[in-house]
Structure 1
Amino acid sequence: MSYSCSPAGILDRLSKASSAEEFFSLLGVDYEPKIVNVARLHILKRMGQYFAKEQFAGAAEPEIRARCKAMLEQAYADFVASSPIEQRVFKVLKEAVADPNKSVAFVPLSALK
């Protein structure tokens, strides 16, 4: 295995990560596996929401890494403090409480053929 002289930047490495655990490992963030097992997609979605608000242009690699680490730590902390249902990061969960008086479509089993 050979390495180039300049290792890939953290943003490039994060873009290639394939699991929540890999994000935590790349950024050096400690986590409780049972929390990640329940809320992995929610944590990554929340981190993405924080990430979308960031501007990295002109920032040095150590600063980018520190800011990414802080975003993941905050996203993780959101789900340590409360559940995915309470945080509602996904559209389906937001819509479930958006209008409690909205009628829900109901199709009885007898109508299915």
Structure 2
Amino acid sequence: MADGILAQLNSASSAEEFFALLGVDYDAKVVNVARLHILRRMGQYLAGEDFTGAADDVVAERCRAVLERAYADFVASTPIDQRVFKVLKDAVAPQAKPTPTLVQLGTLK
């Protein structure tokens, strides 16, 4: 199935192509701010899908639903709130408190 929806999505080079291929409406302002986050979240959701033996129209519909879900995440909140990338997760991770350096009194001059 070289021309199936998964092959088409695999060759897409922009978020707008994903939306067009799957027929999902979007607000360009949301996509301009969160395009990589939306696609990353879509990938996270798709990781839980099993398309083995599914017809291309079924795969396309499931992909459409996943993209709509990922897009909705970023319509309702911001990329900072969603934190799909490690750098954003690490930015709010509790920081380890530095342990004080012990200096023995006998080493002081």
TM-score bracket for this pair, using the shorter chain length: 0.7 to 0.9
TM-score normalised according to structure 1 size: 0.82
Instruction: Note the residue ranges of structure 1 that are not aligned, 5 or more in a row.
Output: 1-5, 105-113
Change over 3 Å in CA distance of 1:103–1:21 after alignment to 2: farther
The answer on 1:54 being equivalent to 2:18 is: no
- Pairing 1:31-70 to 2, within 5 Å after superposition: 31-70=26-65
Amino acid at match of 1:96: A
- Pairing 1:96-107 to 2, within 5 Å after superposition: 96-99=91-94, 101-102=95-96
What residue is the counterpart of 1:11 in the other structure? 6
Percent sequence identity is 66
Higher Cα radius of gyration: 2
CA distance in 1, matches of 2:36, 2:97: 29
Aligned with 1:25: secondary structure? Answer: helix
What residue is the counterpart of 2:101 in the other structure? none
Instruction: Note the residue ranges of structure 2 that are not aligned, 5 or more in a row.
Output: 99-109
CA distance in 2, matches of 1:58, 1:98: 41
TM-score normalised according to structure 2 size: 0.85
Number of residues paired by the alignment? 98
Alpha-carbon shift at residue 102 of structure 1 (Å) = 3.0
C-alpha deviations, 1:41-68, integer Å up to 9, x for none?
A: 0000000000111100011111100000
The answer on 1:93 being equivalent to 2:88 is: yes
CA distance in 1, matches of 2:43, 2:2: 23
